[in-house]
């Protein structure tokens, strides 16, 4: 069997340590890689995690972790983070640990969304995650996680997403720099209530007012420059294009400085 077909050395070692400490109570006295394996067991069941280890079957291990809809690219990153974390166990504020925890949370709530949960399953799962109020893992939370509320927010968000269908259809309305609309006399309320067609028309007027080519790939950056110039200088010394005006101002100032320098030389 090729090396690419075998579960990684880090995960294998963590599973072996999990098997040798199964009777120990959950606490910070357990190594965190073992706690991660316990968390996977809590989500998928022990057979789904241990059997691939016993048969040295990476494909089965991956397949089991994907079965509730966890994306393959995230699984690959989860395993990379696991390996990286095992090599940085002594580093505080460990970003690899945070990402692993987020992936575990996502796995759990994908399971909830796919097949539902037993009555005590949510409460049991929370014991394995470094949430700010989880007294089982307080030492690890304090050491590895800088923002103690970070995983609380992520947990709540994933729980919400597991219970609600979110419409991910792309929003057709495309707003520009809001000050651009204000300079043309629109109010924020008016812009917020525009239909896609009305907003598109307003956008044409904005670009026309500032004489910006809508086909220019940098048109949004040019618009921001033009608006900022207009707010600062108004219509003074203007070409109608804020970006061009900015270049014009720079050239005028440079010419003035050069003229003063030449005059100073002649006087001396």
Packed helices 46-54 and 58-66: angle between N→C axes, nearest 10 degrees: 160
Are 34 and 16 in contact, with CB atoms under 8 Å apart? no
Are 194 and 184 in contact, with CB atoms under 8 Å apart? no
- pLDDT digits (tens), the chain, 268 positions: 443 556 899 999 999 999 999 999 999 999 999 999 999 999 999 999 999 999 999 999 999 999 999 999 999 999 999 999 999 999 998 999 999 999 999 999 999 999 999 999 999 999 999 999 999 999 999 999 988 899 999 999 899 889 887 654 554 456 676 778 888 888 777 777 788 788 888 888 888 888 888 888 888 878 888 887 776 666 544 444 555 555 555 555 555 556 555 555 666 5
Are 222 and 228 in contact, with CB atoms under 8 Å apart? no
Q: What is the DSSP track for 48-110?
A: HHHHHHHTT-HHHHHHHHHTTS--HHHHHHHHHHHHHHHT-TT-SS-HHHHHHHHHHHHHHHH
Give the C-alpha separation, 95 to 195, whole Å. 42
């Amino acid at each position: 069997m090729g090396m690419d077909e075998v579960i990684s050395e880090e995960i294998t070692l963590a599973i072996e340590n999990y098997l040798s400490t199964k009777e120990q109570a959950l606490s910070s006295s357990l190594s965190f890689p073992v706690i991660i394996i316990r968390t996977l067991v809590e989500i998928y069941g022990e057979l789904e995690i241990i059997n691939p280890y016993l048969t040295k079957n990476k494909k089965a291990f991956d397949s089991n972790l994907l079965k509730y809809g966890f994306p393959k690219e995230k699984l690959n990153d989860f395993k990379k983070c696991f390996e990286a974390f095992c090599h940085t166990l002594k580093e505080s504020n460990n970003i690899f640990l945070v990402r692993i925890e987020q992936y575990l949370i996502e796995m759990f709530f994908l399971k909830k969304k796919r097949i539902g949960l037993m009555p005590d399953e949510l409460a049991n799962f929370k014991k394995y995650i470094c949430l700010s109020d989880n007294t089982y893992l307080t030492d690890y939370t304090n050491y590895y996680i800088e923002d103690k509320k970070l995983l609380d927010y992520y947990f709540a968000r994933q729980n919400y997403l597991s219970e609600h269908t979110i419409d991910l259809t792309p929003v057709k309305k495309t707003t520009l720099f809001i000050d651009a609309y204000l300079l043309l006399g629109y109010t924020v309320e008016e812009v917020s209530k525009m239909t896609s067609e009305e907003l598109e028309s307003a956008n044409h007027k904005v670009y026309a007012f500032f004489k910006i080519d809508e086909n220019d790939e940098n048109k949004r950056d040019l618009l921001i420059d033009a608006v900022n110039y207009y707010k600062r200088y108004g219509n003074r010394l203007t070409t109608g294009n804020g970006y061009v005006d900015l270049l014009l101002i720079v050239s005028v100032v440079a010419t003035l400085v050069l003229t003063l320098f030449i005059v100073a030389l002649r006087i001396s």
